[in-house]
Amino acid sequence: MQGTIGSSVTDTLTFTQNGTALTAVTTAANGVSCNWTGTADIGRFVLNLSFCQTNANTFGLRCSNGASRDLRISSAVINAQLNANGSYSGTKADTYSVVPAGSFTQVGTMTFNENVSITK
């Protein structure tokens, strides 16, 4: 995981808005897609993860003690504000349940905090 610190990824984000209600689909470069629901206001929006494909999970990570663990996505939120140039910036937090490989018994939690930049 250490190697991912400071790295960048590009996802495609497709919005649908009805009043203040907002839905979105993100598609990562590796093909993983997730569905989001949230709200939009003047100059900002908040999206909460509602569903991700199974391949959004990470399997077979090796811990420093040699144990094998899987990360299963449990929640995520994107908060973004409108910038003067028309782009959006904000944060994204992904929370995963840490489980022994092949199991569903949670032994820990891992949260990834990210900076987000969105352009049209």
pLDDT digits (tens, 9 = 90+) for 22-62: 999 999 888 889 999 999 999 999 999 999 987 778 888 88
Residue 109: pLDDT band (50, 70, 90) is very high
pTM for the model stands at 0.86
Q: Mean pLDDT throughout 90-119?
A: 93
Our measurement of the distance from residue 38's CA atom to the centroid of its chain's CA atoms, rounded to an integer in Å, reads 14
CA end-to-end span of the chain? 30
Q: CA 9 to CA 55: how far, in whole Å?
A: 17
Instruction: Locate the domains of the chain by residue range.
Output: 2-118
Q: Are 73 and 56 in contact (CB under 8 A)?
A: yes
pLDDT digits (tens, 9 = 90+) for 71-96: 999 999 999 999 999 999 999 999 99
